[in-house]
Amino acid sequence: MERKMQAEKVAMSTAESGLSEPKCPFSDASPGSIKVGSGSGKRPPRIKCLPFVGPIKPFTGDVMPFLNETRKAYGEAFRFPIMGNELTILCGDDALALLEHDELLSTTRSMEVLARAVKSKLTYTFDGPNHKYYRKIHSGWLNRQLEKERRNEIVTTVGEHTANWKPGHVFDPLKEAQSQTVDVLSRILNGEPFPFTSKELSTVVHTLIFATYGHVPLWLALNNPVYKKTQKKMNENSLKLVRRVRQDPEFAERTLIGQYLKVEPKEDLDGVWRDDDLKIVPIAAYLAGYDTVASAAAFMLYQLLAHPEWLQKVRAEYDELTREADSAGVDPMKQKVLRAIFMEATRINPPGALVIRYATKDFQFKGYTIRKGDEVIVQISSNHMNEALFPNPEKFDPTRFLGDDATQLKRKVLTFGSGAHRCTGAMVGPLFSQEMVSYWVNHFDLELVPGNDKPRIVAVPFTQPMDLKVRVTGRR
């Protein structure tokens, strides 16, 4: 009853916030909180921190507590430098409302690093009149049907990676999840086993991320010899894949590149699908899942092993569903307990707590002026530790997300972003994470290794559990 009243309260609040004044173009924002124009010119406050360097340690460490405490001290808009690059942080429901539209915040500039690295014009279509057109290619294919049709392939891939797990085997759940994630993504989206080493992909992913967020100067990042060699190798492999897709219609049908070739490119690509533009498609699949899907899986496994009572419930549910399953295997959508584990694990430790945008014009947010060109970081995890929504928010409690009355609460957990530029893999990403973890815990007995049984949380910028070790104690 208490949870039902809580969910109804959330639903009522959401409905009320939609009754905004006609002057406010953001229906999800509170009246008057967002206005176009410079207004008074009053800027968001700068927090107390080291000049130039800024709060680099907490910002690249466990960023959630840092942002939550800073928000309490300074409000829902504040600024600080990171290595000389000034960031404006926006928090709360009104900040999330900004993400629902393209009028004031742009994604394209945040893609500049990737565009220069891969030399693909497709990266510049994230904004503008055609971005929804291109997004439909993804959302129309990256859905539950794809997961269902390829489920056996996903399970087989995870099985191959764990074939040598024997009692006594110790592994790092994050690294293992990263390795399995990119192989699954490569097979399902690109039609081939992952063609690089995990170290090679890590070099590319984190070089591009650090350059994008200003942790490393762009010129320095892109001229690193190790990175340049690896990026060249990745670009060349992607071009070969594009050519193979063009030559083999049957193969094309099973790839994301093939879905692009089914539609006509718009004028922003000169009406032509060039190989150089399409080569970003397979690369983006690796970049998108390497940290997010894998981190979610690693956090899920940690919470299950740290809370054996929930591990027992997950296994009991799986055993029951196995008896009812058809040839396609257990549907992860039916694993309600496991899905609740996913929601709660990523509420506490969201892989993507922040998204980066750039202001396209002057506007006011909560009485502060955001200037055109400002680099804006929106905390999409703003509500994850909101005590009004999630009582005792530090506690791991998956029952929050069990039952029909939890629907509104689920909408407050934004693991894969929010708004017009929400991750196009948001439908299948959680399913891939859940299937990996489900396979691990239902085929093996596992335990946290003493001394490495609590994660060190870092944000690079995606939140990750470091220094965890898990031991295989037997097969099931």
Domain with 169 in it: 2-475
Starting from the edge strand earliest in sequence, which strands make up the sheet with 363-365, in order? 34-36, 363-365, 368-370
Domain count, the chain: 1
**pTM of the entire predicted model:** 0.90
* Residue 429 belongs to domain with CATH number: 1.10.630.10
C-alpha distance from residue 30 to each of 88, 116, 377 (Å): 20, 39, 20
Q: What is the pLDDT along the chain (476 residues), one digit of tens a residue?
A: 444 444 444 343 333 333 333 334 455 567 679 999 998 999 999 999 999 999 999 988 888 999 999 999 999 999 999 888 899 999 999 999 888 777 898 887 778 888 888 889 888 776 667 888 888 888 889 888 899 899 999 999 999 999 999 999 999 999 999 999 999 999 999 999 999 998 999 999 889 888 887 777 888 888 999 999 999 999 999 999 999 999 999 999 999 999 999 999 998 899 999 999 999 998 888 887 888 999 999 999 999 999 999 999 999 999 999 998 877 788 898 999 999 999 999 999 999 888 889 999 999 999 999 999 999 999 999 999 999 999 999 999 999 999 777 888 888 998 877 666 677 777 888 999 999 999 999 999 999 999 999 999 998 778 999 999 999 999 99
